[in-house]
Structure 1
Amino acid sequence: MANSHLVISDEVGAALLAGSPVVALESTLITHGFPFPANIETATAMEDAIRAEGAVPATIAVINGQIRVGLSRDEIEMLGGLGSAGVRKCSRRDLPIVVGLKQHGATTVAGTMIVAHMAGISVFATGGIGGVHRGHPQDISADLIELGRTPITVVCAGAKSILDLPLTLEVLETQGVPVIGYGTETLPAFYSRSSGLPVDQRVDTPEDVARIARARDALRLAHGILVTVPVPEADALPEDVAEAAIAEATRQADALGIHGKDVTPFVLGNVLELTEGRSQQANIAALVNNARTGAQIAAALAILP
């Protein structure tokens, strides 16, 4: 279906036409996730990891009201320079606003899933998805709802461990989203390799993920598939270190009355300080590793009958 607001880069368009592997990437990590220049360095490292596996990266954002699928290096640097002050964070509710008012927008997990599906991209790699906030069970990320209604394979390091992981899994179950452990039988905890919570199925190869995705499509099921990959061991935070920092940062957020969409950036920032930068190291390692894994899954999908 033609969409005048959607602009697909020549490289991504050619790959899609040829049936070559393509991996979608979000843009909030560029504008809201990391400070300059780590934001640009991380975004380009993810693209490089995808290219190294023979796939094409498609970083997604909205620029002057135009949804772009596949950003140039100049566009990534422009967004990175603007940061959160000049770019709106875009989930489902925000896309018509930024498009209609010709604003800049950085896509969240939910926003990236929507646009990737519009463009015909079936695999998306990110760091951690949103979930249910600790102590605030009514505060549920739009990412979980989107996973229940958009058929994209999302590769991540689990939900951000600053969240309530057991409740997040409950919502994913309600939404009908299979949670796959890639090389693990337990849900990764973003900064750490395991939360101790069981996943729905362990797989060990990209081909297995591709078979599950193909079966979902053959059954005409319209939900996403969540593929959870542990952060590389060398960069992971010990579970007790991560949990202590998260608990303290969450306590501070509650004490200051911070809620809603402001909780996640506040807590992530405090965890960064409390772990003396180790949380950012783990986050970046997970992002690059997930991009690489996403490319391998996209390649497996491209050759699967």
Structure 2
Amino acid sequence: MNSMITYSTEVQQAMDNNQPIVALESTIISHGMPYPQNVETARIVEQIIRDNGAVPATIAIMDGKIKIGLSDEELELLGNSPDVAKVSRRDLGQLIATKKIGATTVAATMICAELAGIRVFATGGIGGVHRGAETTMDISADLEELATTGVAVVCAGAKSILDIGLTLEFLETKGVPVIGYKTDKMPAFYTQASEFDLTFRADDVETLAKVLKAKWDLGLKGGAVVANPIPAEHAMEESFINGIIDQAMVEAKENGIAGKETTPFLLGKVKELTEGTSLVANIELVKHNAEVGAKLAVAYNEL
């Protein structure tokens, strides 16, 4: 296995010195934002993690290897290449064997982070149960991964293009803790709150770290969702964004968009219909999650 994983110099030094590390996904670079904002955001997010006392480890598949930590040149390649594969659990073996370039989703990033011994991962929003899943069975692999892989995911809730209620039901069935960070409501990505209550709230990262350590010390498998709302000044108005999402869903159905192409299509359509304001919100929530993720990694490392 070690022959399939490589570490950047910065990440290797952090491991050697027992420093806190935060994993970062790469589909947010290749499929979540347009170039050059994607690469610029990736670099800013990495610096935010450094500024808050941890070391960033952006994860991707390149040259038949799992890369834990990317160079500036590799970030640029990932953000500007037209044929980057979107990699989930089912795709890891294929991408490594064929030595194609791949960007890791939440699920694949969790797997790679756990292999590297990294416990905290910051992203935008998790995947979940898609609207209409009772007939399409379209459920993100992120949820099953959260049930089995021991990594905490700091996110702005589930992407608001999803069925948030069913997503929470799925996570409850699988025994995945969903912890509201300074909130009692499940965040809805572009907005601070959905209609759904959370069963546990933590108002500081030290409490979050203790909860995670207790869970894993008990031998309970799986990860946890740290639901961190988008900052109020960058949140979008709920009725406005929900109307936009409904319109995007109709267009996706009319165009026969399905499977793993659904999320990139919907996010792109939402950006178009909001005239770019959703992209600004997306960038700001990722930055906020990186800050909280770094502080959590520091607190967990101290335990």
Offset from partner CA, 1:38-93 (integer Å, 9 cap, x none):
010110111011011011000000111111101011110111110xx321111111
Residue equivalent to 2:287? 288
Task: Give the secondary structure class of the aligned counterpart of 2:31.
Answer: helix
Distance 2:126 2:86 in 1: 14
Distance 1:35 1:268 in 2: 11
Whether 1:11 aligns to 2:10 is: yes
Distance 2:43 2:92 in 1: 24
**Aligned AA for 1:210?**
A
**Aligned AA for 2:177?**
P
CA contact (8 A) 2:107 2:145 kept: yes
CA contact (8 A) 1:15 1:22 kept: yes
Residue equivalent to 1:129? 126
Distance 2:22 2:199 in 1: 24
Structure 2: runs of 5 or more not aligned: none
Residue equivalent to 2:232? 233
Q: CA RMSD in A?
A: 1.0
Residue equivalent to 1:303? 302
Residue equivalent to 2:98? 101
CA contact (8 A) 1:184 1:230 kept: yes
Determine what percentage of the aligned residue pairs are the same residue. 52
Task: Give the secondary structure class of the aligned counterpart of 2:166.
Answer: helix
Instruction: Tell me the TM-score normalised to structure 1 length.
Output: 0.97
**Aligned AA for 1:229?**
N
**Shift, 1:255, TM fit:** 2.3
Distance 1:145 1:96 in 2: 18
**Shift, 1:18, TM fit:** 2.1
CA contact (8 A) 1:132 1:164 kept: yes
Distance 1:144 1:116 in 2: 16
Following superposition of structure 1 onto structure 2, how do residues 12-161 of structure 1 map, counting pairs within 5 Å? 12-82=11-81, 85-137=82-134, 138-161=137-160
CA contact (8 A) 1:30 1:79 kept: yes
Distance 2:255 2:14 in 1: 48
Offset from partner CA, 1:77-125 (integer Å, 9 cap, x none):
111110xx32111111110001011111100000000000000100000
CA contact (8 A) 2:62 2:100 kept: yes
**Shift, 1:275, TM fit:** 1.2
Offset from partner CA, 1:165-196 (integer Å, 9 cap, x none):
00011111111101000010000000000002
**Shift, 1:228, TM fit:** 0.6
Instruction: Give the aligned length.
Output: 301
CA contact (8 A) 1:36 1:81 kept: yes
